[in-house]
Structure 1
């Protein structure tokens, strides 16, 4: 097994780490899927309000790739289709009243090995599960007509308050193996699986990865395994979605089951639960006693999206983070001495005893200010990329310079920790996304 040791990065010591035991909670009465969350997709509705759907029924498709459709995570009635400005489809809401699903053909692992790539692609498309597969560069839904150089799977989630993927994989090891075998038939290259613990699987190259966040990000693993070059396309699949593909081929239906962590400094009961994709936020945090202002985030605290109780879990999210939103600004705070309990430092600026957990709030501790090159970005970015010159090239819209500096390997989630560490409060991840959008627009 290949070893990858990441030195740069930082594990955020936040209060409210979820308990690892998986709890069963009542399934949500409503589920939803949000078409506007999918990058580069132009959605076209297949259903209308009042339609009855089953688990796995197609809800909408991409006008640019009409064969790629999105599945219903619940069985019941389409109760609301919410539109935003310029008729952008923001949400398709389903009231669950049954557990009916679309039944497809089943395959054994040996039968999967005998299938050609087209039959496997067609089966995934028929189940409306192709959006589980994303491509790099651009980190968007993959195209079924493209053949990826390689496929990457991260079995290690290093993000704050994340699900323990190793335990999850080990629990459903046989199903995970079927999912890996399915993916191995989709590329002429290799399937790379990165794990933080030793496990053996067939049909893939396994590698053990260690180090602080963002070591678990698939973009970091691609960079340290087989970097992207201009013209390369690789695919990535979340570990929980590998299990979803495995269940599809073994049992013949889409199982929207997902394991989700609920935690953070604003959480009164940090837990790990089993629910379904697109579950309502209200159903997930019903056990929390919230008596003060909090911010709820679908996803992790670095890359997630702010949501309310009326919103739903994101399609690719497996965490709900709760942060204290009660911000108190101390007078002349930057001049006070502070301590490890009152101020958080990535670079050991305060005396502390062990890895103390910090009560984070939503405060940025300052506003956007002039850029000061103190190597704060470089200290937490484990890539052979110069973030400062790349940032300047993106602002200047210098396509050639951006390409020379390695933007093809970048994604905003890999630079989220740089935004957190930045003394100038620059959202570097958002700027990287602007650069990627510009590169895609220019072709």
Structure 2
């Protein structure tokens, strides 16, 4: 039996180029890259060096602040490059894949007899722990703490997001194994949000099922946390992305770290939007140039969704946590008198010279133009219209900007993540970087409060 959660505040941004439910194998990537910047607040310490031959699932580096948290290679191959930045900061580790893939054997795991410490040690040693994240601070979970609950969102409501009902189909055994393991890591409940009863997650045992409906950000795990069990000072909850459960489950069932992931290639600049089977850290070019986007096209490639993803270059790599590659037109052209004439081809929450509210089901071909310049905050009430969390968005953003830790605590900073403010950033008439402001605020709290 599920508990229904209906979200009323929010905004569905309907874009052209949604991926069709057809699955293909991506061109096998020759190179794979691990970027420590994907793991926020982690200071990497190398285990391997250039020339080291590694198996898939073999550790490449670990977290300096906690040596037990290891990060492993997604493929078998040779480390050919370690890029460094200022003060010799590690920017990326590039691996050339071998023709024959070999896996590090972590051994099959007996969940029935395993203790909490044994499950935790197994996930840490095998490199699967980075898939477990925590609130507060939206960073990799601290294995030394015990969460009061674990949250999993199986409903993707972001624009052009991968359909999780499609990507998780046929993976019920892996999902159940992963959930059974996570259940041993908390004395609380495992809360799973789904968009429909057809979700592969809906049939799992040992979970509290919640049927989510409403506009984006209904599918954000932060919305689920806020509606079910908000995070107070001194409390910790953990979150795991739905597709990462498959990697966790396969490791437990087979002993192999299989970094395979189903990725949606979407966006109005894609000729044939569809799904690909690829691996974490693979070359983006192996997907976007096969019936995708023309070479030299003036587009922006995003690893992730259009609201909270990261921009990557055509020769870039799939983000560690992303399950969608979005390609939309680059909006760096100047629109003459753009704000003084009626607008029919853009989405806006305002009814001043904009008419998207007349046709809420229409899909748009939007580019990356911000349609305005950065300016001081303007109090419009727009944020509250699209922000469903029981938090004051304007006040918490300002508290982060002037670094008032007491006010940030009082306003609910412990339970938010940057992605929760992606929509307020989208509708912001002041063009303020909300997600960046929240990320810097969380980093300050992590440093000062811990």
TM over 0.5: yes
- SS class of match (1:303): coil
**Residue pairs, 1:371-386, within 5 angstroms:** 371-386=377-392
The CA deviation string for residues 55-101 of structure 1, in whole angstroms up to 9 with x for no partner, is 00100001100011101001111111111111111111111112100
Instruction: Give 1:353 deviation, angstroms.
Output: 4.2
- SS class of match (2:111): helix
**Residue pairs, 1:331-370, within 5 angstroms:** 331-339=336-344, 341=345, 343-347=346-350, 349-350=354-355, 352-353=358-359, 355-370=361-376
1:322 counterpart residue number = 327
**Residue pairs, 1:117-132, within 5 angstroms:** 117-132=116-131
Contact 1:56 1:254 in 2 (8 A): yes
CA–CA separation in structure 2 for the residues paired with 1:6 and 1:289:
36
Contact 1:265 1:361 in 2 (8 A): no
Contact 1:418 1:429 in 2 (8 A): no
- Give the number of equivalent residue pairs: 438
Contact 1:247 1:255 in 2 (8 A): yes
Contact 2:307 2:422 in 1 (8 A): yes
**Residue pairs, 1:14-413, within 5 angstroms:** 14-97=15-98, 98-107=100-109, 111-198=110-197, 199-287=202-290, 288-290=292-294, 292-339=297-344, 341=345, 343-347=346-350, 349-350=354-355, 352-353=358-359, 355-413=361-419
CA–CA separation in structure 2 for the residues paired with 1:76 and 1:428:
40
The CA deviation string for residues 408-427 of structure 1, in whole angstroms up to 9 with x for no partner, is 11111100110001111111
The CA deviation string for residues 378-434 of structure 1, in whole angstroms up to 9 with x for no partner, is 111111111112222222221111111111111111001100011111112211112
CA–CA separation in structure 2 for the residues paired with 1:325 and 1:168:
28
> What TM-score do you get using the length of structure 2 for normalisation?
0.94
- SS class of match (1:112): coil
Instruction: Give 1:129 deviation, angstroms.
Output: 1.4
Q: What do you get for the CA RMSD once the two structures are aligned?
A: 1.4
Gaps of 5+ in 2: none
Contact 2:267 2:273 in 1 (8 A): yes
- SS class of match (1:365): coil
Instruction: Give 1:170 deviation, angstroms.
Output: 3.7
CA–CA separation in structure 1 for the residues paired with 2:418 and 2:239:
15
2:425 counterpart residue number = 419
> What TM-score do you get using the length of structure 1 for normalisation?
0.96
Contact 1:200 1:206 in 2 (8 A): no
CA–CA separation in structure 2 for the residues paired with 1:360 and 1:56:
39
CA–CA separation in structure 1 for the residues paired with 2:416 and 2:343:
36
CA–CA separation in structure 1 for the residues paired with 2:409 and 2:293:
49
